[in-house]
Amino acid sequence: MSLRNCNREKEVAQALAAGYWPEACAPDLHAHVAACKACSQRVLLTQAFRRERASASAQPRLESPGVLWWRAQLRRRNAALERLGRPLLGAQIFAVAIALVAAAAFFASQAKTGLGWFAWLLDIPRSLHFEALLPPGLQNAAGTALVAGVLLAVIAGLGGFAAYISSDKV
């Protein structure tokens, strides 16, 4: 570039910036650029930079090696966890199946002898006199069942809240 400025250099710069050069420019501006050394150098440099930018943006961007390594490690860890989880899932299914068979055998044996133990189980709250702790309006079987249900709901809610707090979602 030269040290002196051309009086039409600003007009050439605007045409280049707006994308009008060379198709949408006036013929006299083409003639000026062909004659003026400063303007022709500006056009030449601008077009060279645009070509380089277009070729650089056409090339694929490679990720950093650290990111590639981290992803590979994550995939390897997830694959290892999946391989470890398969036998555990099989063991859990087997344990549930054994528990269901044991429960079926227990209920089959109890069906022959009667369900006397079930009546004893229902008699436990009455034998411990929990209704004495309740207000006078709730000192019956329905009140005891209501209070027991509310207590179980509160315990279940606290358990769910504790599980939510200990999870990674918080």
pLDDT along the chain (170 residues), means of 10: 69 80 76 84 86 80 85 93 82 93 88 71 73 79 83 90 75
Structure tokens that stand for 84 in this block: 């470890």
- Please report the pLDDT score of residue 3 as a whole number: 55
Q: Which residues are CB-neighbours of 22 under 8 A, at least 6 positions away?
A: 30
Q: Which residues are CB-neighbours of 144 under 8 A, at least 6 positions away?
A: 125, 130, 131, 134, 138
- Please report the pLDDT score of residue 53 as a whole number: 84
- Please report the pLDDT score of residue 168 as a whole number: 66
Q: Which residues are CB-neighbours of 131 under 8 A, at least 6 positions away?
A: 125, 138, 139, 140, 143, 144
Rg value, the chain, Cα? 42
- Please report the pLDDT score of residue 148 as a whole number: 83
- Please report the pLDDT score of residue 1 as a whole number: 46
Q: Are the C-beta atoms of 11 and 29 separated by less than 8 Å?
A: yes
